[in-house]
């Protein structure tokens, strides 16, 4: 029997991180659970990320074109036609209106994963915005035929999180196990500042695990920062079971991105930093609701500020 193909178009790099690809993986896994086949078209990405996708049974097709370009759209449309796929999932801020228009003109149906609302006439049959602050007003200029799937009930959590549904979180009086996870890239090496901050926290038996993403270029610098550390701090690479680390942690220090909803699902108290402009609405919502302690942009705080926040 022919397995229905679903094309995913998302990219990952040191600049944009891995969040777009990883939340697409969550949707791909759900598609697989219905008996479908997921095919990812990605610009050249870290080998570890490609291996992660393939280990999940996803086919990965490298893109040999400028991401978001006319050539990219034509290649994606031709691949969909070849695989007899009628739907394409698009996730990324560089996929402009013209890109999406070309996919629609090729006769494809389009699912857009979005965060902040898109320009008018956005060429999408379905829009998924998993953020709790999403509302229909963000998409008032779309066609009445566009289906809107908005809010946290549509959170894109990967298959491994489902195993922890209903898990009882125990909150200790004093947090001693700290998880540091700043996304798949961290181009400005904010993780290093966080690790330096943790070494200034005067809490007995403190320990930490820092997740180093597949597109993080700073491993040597991070290892140097741990020399002579007064508390045990471990680096973990190519993590495929984030829920287990979140279950281990008493608290997390995280970027304000997709990880925020994973931490909320796992009930992990968190300190949140903002590493990009597109994370600011998430950080604002976390601050307003009191779901996390928000530190803001790295320019707004120092290692001492982080140490004081962890202690508090």
pLDDT of the residue at 130: 96
What is the percent of the chain where pLDDT is above 90? 75
Mean pLDDT score across all residues of the chain: 91
pLDDT of the residue at 218: 79
Cβ neighbourhood burial of 4 (10 Å; 0-12, 13-18, 19+): middle
Contact 83, 268 (CB under 8 A): no
d(CA 171, CA 165): 17
Q: Angle 19-33/258-266 helices, nearest 10 degrees?
A: 60
CB atoms within 10 A of CB 227: 6
d(CA 251, CA 309): 12
Tens of pLDDT, residues 185-235 = 787 889 999 999 999 999 999 999 999 877 677 788 888 888 888 889 999
For the chain, how many helices (H) and strands (E)?
11, 13
Q: Over 169-224, what HEC string results?
A: CCCCCCCCEEEEECCCCCCCCHHHHHHHHHCCCCCCCCEEEEEECCCCCCHHHHHH
Q: Work out the widest C-alpha separation in the chain, in whole angstroms.
A: 62
Q: Over 65-80, what HEC string results?
A: CCCCCHHHHHHHHHHH
Q: Output Rg (C-alpha) for the chain, integer angstroms.
A: 20
- Is the predicted pLDDT of residue 122 greater than 80, yes or no? no
pLDDT of the residue at 1: 43
- 308 to 190, 200, 203, 234: CA distances (angstroms): 17, 9, 11, 21
Helix, strand, or coil (residue 242): helix
Tens of pLDDT, residues 132-185 = 999 998 888 777 889 999 999 999 999 999 999 999 999 999 999 999 999 877
The length of the chain, given as a count of residues? 312
Q: Sheet with 59-62: list strands edge to edge.
A: 59-62, 37-42, 5-10, 87-91, 109-113, 126-129, 147-150
Task: Tell me phi and psi for residue 192, to 5 degrees.
Answer: -60, -45
Cα 191 off chain centre by:
16
Contact 63, 90 (CB under 8 A): no
Residue 231 corresponds to which tokens in the numbers above? 């508390």
DSSP for 251-271, please give it. Answer: EEEEESSHHHHHHHHHT--EE
What is the percent of the chain where pLDDT is above 70? 97
The region of weakest confidence among 214-228, 250-264, 295-309 is: 214-228
Contact 200, 304 (CB under 8 A): yes
H or E stretch including 149?
strand 147-150
């Amino acid at each position: 029997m022919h397995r229905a193909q679903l094309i995913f178009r998302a990219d990952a790099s040191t600049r944009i991180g891995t969040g777009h690809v990883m939340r697409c993986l969550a949707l791909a896994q759900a598609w697989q659970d219905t008996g479908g086949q997921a095919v990812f078209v990605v610009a050249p990405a870290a080998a570890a990320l490609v291996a992660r996708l393939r280990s999940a049974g996803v086919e990965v097709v490298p893109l040999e074109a400028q991401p978001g370009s006319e050539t990219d759209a034509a290649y994606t449309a031709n691949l969909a036609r070849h695989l007899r796929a009628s739907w394409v999932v698009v996730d990324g801020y560089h996929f402009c209106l013209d890109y999406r228009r070309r996919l629609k003109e090729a006769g494809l149906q389009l699912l857009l994963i979005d965060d902040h609302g898109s320009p008018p006439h956005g060429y999408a049959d379905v829009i998924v915005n998993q953020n709790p602050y999403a509302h229909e007003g963000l998409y008032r200029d779309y066609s009445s035929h566009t289906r809107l799937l908005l809010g946290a009930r549509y959170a894109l959590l990967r298959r491994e999180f489902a195993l922890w549904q209903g898990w009882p979180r125990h909150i200790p009086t004093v947090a001693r196990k700290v998880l540091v996870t700043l996304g798949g890239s961290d181009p400005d090496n904010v993780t290093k500042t966080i690790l330096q901050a943790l070494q200034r926290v005067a809490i007995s038996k403190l320990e930490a695990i820092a997740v180093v993403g597949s597109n993080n270029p700073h491993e040597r610098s991070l290892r140097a920062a741990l020399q002579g550390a007064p508390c045990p701090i471990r680096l973990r690479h190519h993590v495929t079971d984030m829920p287990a680390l979140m279950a281990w942690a008493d608290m997390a220090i995280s970027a304000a991105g997709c990880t925020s909803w994973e931490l909320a699902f796992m009930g992990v108290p968190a300190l949140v930093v903002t590493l990009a402009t597109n994370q600011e609405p998430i950080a604002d919502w976390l601050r307003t609701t009191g779901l996390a302690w928000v530190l803001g942009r790295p320019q707004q705080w120092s290692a001492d500020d982080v140490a004081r926040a962890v202690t508090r």
